[in-house]
Amino acid sequence: MSFRYFVYISDAKVEMLLQQIEPGALRKRASEVGLGLQFFTAKRTGESLAGAERTARLERVVRHLTDFGDLGTVDEPGQFFWGLLPLRWGSTVGADGFPMIYFGGRTGKTVLGLGGSRAHVFGAPPGADQQVLPVGRSQLPSLLEGITRVDGTDAPEAVRAATDGLRGPEQNMEFIAKRLMDEPGPEGERVLLGSPLYVALVD
């Protein structure tokens, strides 16, 4: 049996998708009844989400994408794509001066890049991204600004250079990501850039 060890979950994307899949699921509600000396009050409070519920909400979104969504693969992506590949990754400061996390790898046909906010990395301390981005890393312009280090470099070449520039050992990783860019590369390969919903280490 293989286990997954989550290293990245984009709570923002999970909440956005879950609210569309299950309207009203954004926050659980609990009713509390208070009895005063002169009046009776009823109030509702939202319960914050933490721990196991974070991954449980992710799994509900993943099940929906698997059963009903446009979920493809790295070599044949849909609106979203799933993969299980050896990836290199790391936390860095983007070319635009803002922090980011980047995962990169290759299949026989595709150069892959996944980028997002460092704040979504498991174990990141509160306020890990102190600088406020003008546009979130899950948006294509912001992500490309983070990885494009040479003026005039086109988008596919920037992704290829960022992926090839990663150092350190490869790790076997599973992921689902939103497709942001899918274009031919300078050497005829497919170049795919995505914003991950989750990334997990797999035994």
- What is the predicted pLDDT for the residue at 36? 44
pTM above 0.85, yes or no: no
Signed CA dihedral, 112, 115, 121, 125: sign only: positive
Is 83 inside any structural domain?
Answer: yes
Per cent of the chain over pLDDT 90 is 47
Query: What is the distance between the alpha carbons of residues 117 and 144, in angstroms, rounded to a whole number?
Result: 13
Q: At what angle do helices 155-164 and 140-147 cross, to 10 degrees?
A: 50
| Residue 104 falls inside a structural domain | yes
- Split at pLDDT 50, 70, 90, the class of 40 is very low
Is residue 7 situated within a structural domain? Answer: no
What was the pLDDT predicted at 25? 57
Distance separating alpha carbons of residues 151 and 175, to the nearest angstrom: 31
* 161 domain residue, yes or no: yes
Residue 158 lies in a domain: yes
Q: Which of 67-71, 126-130, 179-183 has the lowest mean pLDDT?
A: 126-130
CA 6, CA 20: separation in Å to the nearest integer? 24
Domain count, the chain: 1
* Domain residue limits at 94: 71-202
Residue 153 lies in a domain: yes
**Which pLDDT band, with edges at 50, 70 and 90, does 178 fall under?**
very high
For the stretch 73-123, pLDDT in tens is 999 999 999 999 999 998 877 766 777 899 999 999 999 999 988 888 887
Instruction: For residue 140, tell me if it sits in a domain.
Output: yes
Per-residue pLDDT reduced to its tens digit, 22-37: 886 555 533 333 444 3
* CATH number (domain holding residue 187): 2.40.50
In a domain? residue 112: yes
